[in-house]
Amino acid sequence: MARPLKIGIVGAGSIGIRGALDHLVLPDVQERVVMTAVCDPAPGRAKAAAAKYHIPQAFEDLDDMLAKGDIEAVTLGTPIGIHFEQGLKCIRAGKHVHFNKTMTTTTADADTLIAEAKARNVKLVACPGEMLRPHNRCIRDLIRDGVLGRLAWAVIGCAFGTYHEKEGCRQGNDALSNINPAWYWQRAAGGGPLYDMVVYGLHALTGILGPAKRVTAFSGVAIREREFRGRKFVSDCDDNTVMILDFGNTVFAFVHGTFAGTITRFANPNFYGSKGAVVGLDMNGKPIPYPGKEEADKAKQGYQVLLPHVRNTPHREMEEAHVFEDIMQLVDLVRDGTPTASTPEHARHVIEIIEAAYRAAQTGQTQTLGTTFEQV
């Protein structure tokens, strides 16, 4: 493809602005991808985004954009619970799709999207591409090479906290800065820490160790009301979940998505074996010498700056550069056929872990996992 890929931005909220619009407007990407349409149902938001980011077309309805928009691909920056419906519409319209995390909320929906895309020769990329990061690939190689000896267990997790209530892009009064985060607290919308935050750690954990085989869990709703800018909102998402994953050969992992407290660095699992441990970015108390470490140590954004399309570009100083990176993974896949680690099959496996964990918590029974993916 000699010309730039024409992409539509679906969702001009927090992640759409910081992960797509702010990045894709910059001059360095215009030869490869250009924003030609933006869609958001909030009154005035799509028009405001189109004006600010110089996008030719603005829509409030996805069907309208798919019918009339001059687009070849889309990035979905919408609530997780509607990714399946929107993604299926885009695929059936012949548009390549980048899914922000999480791709869907059920394994069956992920299966459908993958099958539909294959039947139509449509390309899919799914966030988060944790195995694009050099430190994760280095840790995977160390474990495979037996540096930690006989692997015993791993741990990853994070706390929901009040992060979304305090995001800067939600504190203004215009269409692009007064963005209500209430969907993050609704189970039906795909809210809660597992789909929203733990998904990063699960992608890293499984990318390093490979597909999990079984899961058991406890889960529930602890905080049933949240506040945003003086308004009260009902919160019915599970915000306090702990699970145990079985990777086979008596290798286990503890994973938590809770409303408070954390054990590990965000998205950085700890691994423990008979010859030592990886804790964050250290192995047996010494820094892991992954490629680009010295550069990452000096950068404000840390190892984020080592992502392929972020390194040595203005994007390295910007928020949500990892989302931009996964969008560019789709661009490269469509334009050049370049393989990516941000595959829908990996995303599907993580989705099954989350879905099965909720089911295990409800039934009190350990769940066997059936999906797999190719480690890239």
3-state secondary structure 173-192: CCCCCCCCCHHHHCHHHCCC
Q: Is the peptide bond before 128 cis (omega within 30 degrees of 0)?
A: yes
Per the domain annotation, does 313 fall within a domain?
no
Per the domain annotation, does 322 fall within a domain?
no
- Note the pLDDT of residue 219: 98
- Note the pLDDT of residue 2: 86
End-to-end CA distance of the chain: 25
List the chain residues with pLDDT less than 50.
none
Q: Which of 126, 143, 176 is the last residue of a domain?
A: 126
Q: Do 284 and 141 lie in a common domain? A: yes
Q: Do 30 and 61 lie in a common domain? A: yes
Per the domain annotation, does 320 fall within a domain?
no
Please give the biggest Cα pair distance in the chain.
Answer: 60
- Note the pLDDT of residue 326: 98
Per the domain annotation, does 57 fall within a domain?
yes
Distance in angstroms (rounded) separating the CA atoms of residues 154 and 209: 10
Q: Do 142 and 290 lie in a common domain? A: yes
CA 53 to chain centre: 24
Q: Do 298 and 166 lie in a common domain? A: yes
Who's near 362: CB < 8 A, 6+ residues apart?
219
Q: pLDDT digit string (tens) for 2-30?
A: 899 999 999 999 999 999 999 999 999 99
Q: Which of 68, 94, 126 is the last residue of a domain?
A: 126
- Note the pLDDT of residue 34: 98
Distance in angstroms (rounded) separating the CA atoms of residues 307 and 176: 27
- Note the pLDDT of residue 156: 98
- Note the pLDDT of residue 52: 98
Q: Do 98 and 225 lie in a common domain? A: no
Give CB contacts under 8 A, 24+ apart, made by 178-185: 179/13, 179/14, 180/228, 181/14, 181/228, 182/226, 182/228, 182/233, 183/79, 183/81, 184/237, 185/226, 185/233, 185/234, 185/235, 185/236, 185/237, 185/239
Look up residue 342 and give its DSSP letter: -
3-state DSSP helix/strand/coil % of the chain, to nearest 5:
40, 20, 40
CATH number at residue 266: 3.30.360.10
Paired sense of beta strands 73-76 and 5-10, if any: parallel
Q: Is 220 buried (19+), middle (13-18) or exposed (0-12) by CB count in 10 A? A: exposed
Q: Which helix (H) or strand (E) holds 332?
A: helix 321-336
Q: Do 75 and 153 lie in a common domain? A: no
Per the domain annotation, does 272 fall within a domain?
yes
Per the domain annotation, does 376 fall within a domain?
no
CATH number at residue 101: 3.40.50.720
Q: Do 35 and 72 lie in a common domain? A: yes
Closest Cα partner for 195 from 88, 106, 85?
Answer: 106
Whole-model pTM above 0.85? yes
Look up residue 132 and give its DSSP letter: G
Q: Percentage of the chain with pLDDT > 90?
A: 95
- Note the pLDDT of residue 277: 98
CA 94 to chain centre: 23
Q: Which of 126, 156, 177 is the last residue of a domain?
A: 126
Q: Do 99 and 137 lie in a common domain? A: no
- Note the pLDDT of residue 167: 87
Q: Do 173 and 263 lie in a common domain? A: yes
Range(s) of the domain holding residue 178: 131-304+343-368
Q: Do 252 and 103 lie in a common domain? A: no
Per the domain annotation, does 350 fall within a domain?
yes
User: Is residue 326 a contact partner of residue 342, using CB atoms and an 8 Å limit?
Assistant: yes
- Note the pLDDT of residue 66: 98
Q: Do 290 and 168 lie in a common domain? A: yes
* Total domain count, the chain: 2
For the record, the structure tokens of 331 come out as 């661009």
Closest Cα partner for 128 from 260, 19, 281, 236?
Answer: 19
3-state secondary structure of 328: helix
User: Is residue 125 a contact partner of residue 330, using CB atoms and an 8 Å limit?
Assistant: yes
Per the domain annotation, does 221 fall within a domain?
yes
Q: Do 79 and 172 lie in a common domain? A: no
